[in-house]
Amino acid sequence: MFAHQCRNSEKYGINFFPDYKTKTESFTSRSLLIEISLFNIHHL
C-alpha cells in the first residue's frame, strides 16, 4: 500500500513540477513584458 502511494506521488511529482515550472516562467515573462511596455508608454 505505502509503496504504491510512493510510486503514485513520484509519478505525480514528475508530471506536476515541469508543468508548474513552465507556468511560473511564462507568468513571470508575461508580467515582465507588461512592465516593460508600461514603462515604455510612460517614457515616450
pLDDT in tens, 9-44: 555 555 666 666 777 888 888 898 889 888 888 776
More confident residue, 16 or 1: 16
Report the first-to-last Cα separation within the chain, whole angstroms.
Answer: 64
pLDDT in the model for residue 2: 47
**Cα dihedral 24/25/28/33 (nearest 10):** -150
pLDDT in the model for residue 1: 46
Compute the half-sphere exposure of residue 24: CA atoms within 13 Å on the CB side of its CA: 6
Please identify which residue in the block is written with the cell numbers 515604455.
Answer: 40
pLDDT in the model for residue 16: 60
DSSP string covering 20-41? HHHHHHHHHHHHHHHHHHHHHH
| Number of domain units in the chain | 1
Q: Which domain holds residue 13?
A: 1-42
- The structure's pTM equals 0.41
pLDDT in the model for residue 32: 87
